[in-house]
Chains A and B, each alone.
Chain A
Amino acid sequence: MSNNTRRHFITKTGALMGALLAAGMISGSAFAADFPTAKVNTTKLAVTDTTVKVGILHSSTGTMAISETGSIQAEKLAIAQINAMGGVLGRKIEVIQEDGASDWPTFAEKSKKLLVNDKVATVFGCWTSASRKAVLPVFEKENGLLFYPTFYEGLEQSKNVFYTGQEATQQILAGLDWIAKEKKAKTFYLIGSDYIWPRTSMKIARKHIEQKLGGKVVGEEYIALGDTQFGSVINKIKLKKPDVIYAAVVGGSNVAWFKQLNAAGLNSKKQNMLTISVTEDEVLGIGGENLEGFYSAMKYFQSLKNPNNEKFVAEFKKMWGPKSVIGDVTQAAYLGPWLWKAAVERAGSFDVDKAAAALPGYELKTAPEGYVKVDPNHHLESKLRVGKWLANGQAEVVYESDLIKPDPFPKGYQ
């Protein structure tokens, strides 16, 4: 299977490169001769005169494969595009892909393999916070570089990691402000899966609702991961009649949650809901008809209308099939290789310390989400969008915030 995929990938990459060549898009790329290997690689990374090795570390098997597949695809697309433009400092990127298998110790072991044995210049990978926490000590000890794509709970900052998704305050605050104003919401019911990301997010949401918005939290509830029975919870919600349900339910539970909500008569005509855990990927499983009219707060939706995104969506579909959908994290994963390329080129070196130091302040204007800027705290400055789900599984963007500075350690919210 993996061989087959790789062959598939190479064929498609070849086709894509051919297309790009034909379109005459290769321009102004740096020549390797201008950057002698001895100079751009002083830390014995896997860099030759013509190639540079990077790692992709996601789960392609196990529970998390559902979510992480999109990230792998986006990273491979970005790398193929960068190679078609002449690579990084004149060197073609070679990918070493490892499978974290949805198992956190495996992630740690594979990251060690990538950094110590393969000497990769950077790694694009991890999805859950648990996997990131597992590899973090390895990256710090071996001085590796990681680009992490998922929106997450914040409360972390490392010189070895760049976070291309949003941290909690970027995703939560503006969305709550919007729905409180738009729907004149006063009462909120918080519900999430029972692990660190929803719990941290709900803590921030509760503080914001009670202190900044003057609203009231009428219920806060956590569901065991994988639980599919929501009867009692839905009845409680019906009794409390909140203006807004604020939801962060993930995985298989997510589908059950929306299906049962609809079956119990709580559809968007009767109930407002803002969720921070539904992207286009999840909609495939939930079914657009069960979500119609509910809102998601994300930084990216596939339906975003701008030239960067239209090009990105077209090329993603060309490489991975017309039926593929692109969610928030997939787009964030796509930014990783581009940001790394910028870091290396700004530093004029593949060395991790130099590249990491060169990246803050960089503005990526070709991002599908529009524009992002790398903050000194290694997170991205980005916008928040609220999307209203349509029956066809796409979202209509109904609100777009200003650029929001990342704040992984928010004061007053802990």
Chain B
Amino acid sequence: MFDYSMAEIGNIVVMQAFSGLSLFSVLLLMALGLAIIFGQMGVINMAHGEFMAIGAYTTVFLSKVAETYGIVNYYFLFAIVIAFIIAFIIGYIIEFALIRHLYKRPLDTLLATWGLSLVMQQIFRSTFGAKEVSAVLPEWLMGSFQPTPDIDIPINGVFVLALALVVTVGVYIFMFRSRWGLRVRATVQNRVMAGAVGINTKKVDRVTFALGCGIAGVAGAAFTTIASTGPTTGSLYIVDSFMVVVFGGAASILGTIASAFGIAQAQSILQFFMTSSMGKVATLMVIVGILMMRPEGLFASKVRK
């Protein structure tokens, strides 16, 4: 590292810090929806990645529409909202048709949602084709922001970071500051008692599941700025999502945030000093080590057993 001037090293430190933050926001967006479903309902949703793909395909489709009407610069924020709504509705239907029959059999939900993910992948392939597609991005999302000539901060990274913060705050308000959140938390803590005081726990389940799916849709829409969309896009994200949720402690949203931050910083720094694949291996080893000492994750859940 001694071949470089202080200024060069300073620039790299700034850009490296941002790349860590950017990875953090990606992991957080991926994991939030899963954390809600897994943490609050105990459902292991293997089709989480496919809900991201729904969001991504929605964005790609809308970008094509926007291109025909020449409104590429404005559609993107709109697309995120639509992606949320579509993923929410599909999640709502799937909870009704499939998930609610399996609440007493958590391992079966794992198999059923995995099967669901395969079905959804094939539907994407038949509908949108096997080839990967990209959304046409508005110009303001491309390129980089340069505070000095030697520092480039990717604008899409800033955008994903901002979106991750907005979604997290939204989830926090929903879970801890609204009547709905109160009902959800009550159901998680004691389902029978919650039912007894007049909470429609079935409806709570349905909305919670749909909300998790909707957030996955938002994540998928955001990731079109980073990568492409194909039928199997979702399976690229599912492992990282689970890693963040399990490491953070299943039932805790704060744990998910801390875990995403920790993993992102560790990975980004290790990847800079080692090679890329070795950096990832080292990160995983650290996670395995910590989970061996704290099997319940960083933040233990306070669910009544």
Binding site for B on A (CB under 8 A): 1, 60-63, 65-66, 69, 194, 220-224, 226-229, 231-236, 238-239, 252, 255-256, 259-260, 262-266, 281, 284-287, 289
- Name A's interface SS: helix
Q: Is the CB of B125 within 8 A of A285?
A: no
> Contacts of A238 on B, CB cut-off 8 Å?
11-12, 15, 152
Q: Is the CB of B227 within 8 A of A263?
A: no
> Contacts of B142 on A, CB cut-off 8 Å?
262-263, 289
A128 to B131, CA, bound (A): 16
CB within 8 Å of A: which B5-33 residues? 8, 11-12, 15-16, 18-20, 22-23, 26
Instruction: Say yes or no: A232-B4 contact (C-beta < 8 A), given A255-B132, A256-B227.
Output: no
Q: Is the CB of B143 within 8 A of A232?
A: no
- Nearest-CB distance from B197 to chain A (Å)? 45
Interface 9-residue window, one of B102-110, B165-173, B228-236? B228-236
Q: Does B226 contact A (CB under 8 A)?
A: yes
A166 to B26, CA, bound (A): 38
Q: Does B190 contact A (CB under 8 A)?
A: no
A228 to B122, CA, bound (A): 22
Q: Is the CB of B15 within 8 A of A69?
A: no
- Nearest-CB distance from B85 to chain A (Å)? 25
Pull 28 A–B residue pairs with CB atoms less than 8 Å apart, ordered by A: A65-B231, A66-B130, A66-B230, A69-B130, A223-B276, A224-B277, A224-B280, A229-B23, A231-B23, A231-B157, A231-B268, A232-B19, A232-B268, A233-B271, A238-B12, A239-B4, A239-B12, A252-B132, A255-B228, A256-B227, A259-B225, A263-B155, A263-B157, A264-B15, A264-B152, A265-B152, A284-B132, A287-B134
Q: Is the CB of A252 within 8 A of B233?
A: yes
Q: Does B45 contact A (CB under 8 A)?
A: no
Which 6 pairs show the lowest CB-CB distances between chains A and B? A231-B19, A263-B154, A285-B132, A265-B152, A255-B228, A232-B271
- Nearest-CB distance from A277 to chain B (Å)? 14
> Contacts of A232 on B, CB cut-off 8 Å?
16, 19, 267-269, 271-272, 276, 279
- The residue in chain B whose Cβ has the minimal distance to the Cβ of A239 is B12
Q: Mark B80-123, 1 if CB is under 8 A from A, else 0.
A: 00000000000000000000000000000000000000000010
> Contacts of B11 on A, CB cut-off 8 Å?
238
- Nearest-CB distance from A199 to chain B (Å)? 11
Q: Is the CB of B228 within 8 A of A285?
A: yes
A3 to B159, CA, bound (A): 45
> Contacts of B271 on A, CB cut-off 8 Å?
232-233
Q: Is the CB of B236 within 8 A of A226?
A: yes
Instruction: Say yes or no: A263-B156 contact (C-beta < 8 A), given A229-B26, A255-B227.
Output: yes
A276 to B226, CA, bound (A): 22
Q: Is the CB of A281 within 8 A of B131?
A: yes
- Nearest-CB distance from B231 to chain A (Å)? 8
A289 to B72, CA, bound (A): 15
A266 to B142, CA, bound (A): 12
> Contacts of A228 on B, CB cut-off 8 Å?
223, 226-227, 236
